[in-house]
Amino acid sequence: MFDLLKIRRRHGWTFVPDPLRASVIPPFRGRPELRPDLCTRCRRCEGVCPAAAITAEPLRIDLGRCILCGDCQEACPAGAIEFTTEHRLAAFGREALITGEGVAAAAEPAADAIRADIRRLFGRSLKLRQVSAGGCNGCEMELGACGNVNFDMGRYGVEFVASPRHADGVVVTGPVSENMAAALEDTWRAVPAPRLLIAVGSCAISGGVFAPSPALRRGFFDGHAVDLYVPGCPTHPLTFIDGVMRLIGAHSAQL
C-alpha cells in the first residue's frame, strides 16, 4: 500500500487540464515538415513507405494514408523529411490531408463554412456511435481514452453511446472489411438525420496498409460524405478532440 501511495505521489495529477491547449511531446510523430529544396529525388522514402503515402516527385505526404511510422525520415539521406509533434491533423476535406511541395497550406474554414445544422444542433452536445470496421483496436483504444480521466472529452458535451438510435453521428475506424460492410451501413441508417460521419485513422480514411487487400469493401465511403477526417495510426486522443471541437464550431468558443 505504501509503495502504491509513493508512486501516486511521484506521478502527481495525470489529467490534461485543457485538451484544446495541450501539446504532445516526443516520441510522438505528428504533422510532417518537408523540405523539397533538400530532396535529391532518390526515392528511398517511396521504397520504405508501407502505405504508399509519400511521393518524391513532387515531395508530398498523404496523411490520409500515412501511418506516421517515420521510416521515410530514417531513409532520407538529405534530411528532407522531419516529423514534428504537431497533433492538430484533422481536416474537413480529403484533399486537405495532403501536404508538401506545391500544396497550399490548408486554411481554417470560416465559421459559416461549417454546416449550419451541425453548429446549431451539436455545438453543445454531441453523441457518437463508434464502429470498428475491421480495425486492429489501436484507434479504438485511443478513442476510448478520449473519455477517461486524462482527456475527459465529456467536459465538452461529446460522448460515445452504445446505440446508434441515441447517436448524432458515426465514427468509423478500420479499413472496412467485407464482414463489417453491411453492419456499418446498418449502423449509419439507424442514426437519425441530420447525422455526422467521421473517419478516424489511416485505415478508415484510405484503407491504410490494407488498401490493396481484396478482403475490403469500402463502398460505404463512396455513398456517404465524410464530415471530418482524423488521421493517425493510431489517432491520438488530442487529435480527435481538436478535430471534433472544430467540426461543431465549439473550438474557438472554448479558447
Return the ∠ at Cα 234 (arms to 215 and 102), rounded to 5°.
90
| For helices 237-247 and 138-145, angle between their N-to-C axes, nearest 10 degrees | 70
Residue 240: other Cβ atoms inside 10 A: 30
**pLDDT for position 204:** 98
Do the beta carbons of residue 59 and residue 85 sit within 8 Å?
no
- Quick: pLDDT tens for 205-254: 999 999 999 999 999 999 999 999 999 999 999 999 999 999 998 865 55
DSSP secondary structure code for residue 188 in this structure: H
- Position of cell 471541437? 245
- Quick: pLDDT tens for 148-207: 999 999 999 999 999 999 999 999 999 999 999 999 999 999 999 999 999 999 999 999
Q: Which residues of 202-228 are buried (b: 16+ CB within 10 A; e: fewer)?
A: bbbbbbbbbeeeeebbbebbeeeebbb
**pLDDT for position 5:** 82
Strands 169-173 and 196-200 turn out to be parallel
* pLDDT over 70, % of the chain: 93
Give the Cα separation of 164 and 131 in Å (integer).
10
The answer regarding whether domain 111-254 maps to CATH 3.40.50.12280 reads yes
Where in the chain are the domains?
111-254
Give the Cα separation of 79 and 229 in Å (integer).
28
Would you list the DSSP string of 89-120?
--BSSGGGGEEETT-PPPPPPPGGGS-HHHHH
Q: Give the three-state DSSP class for 156.
A: helix
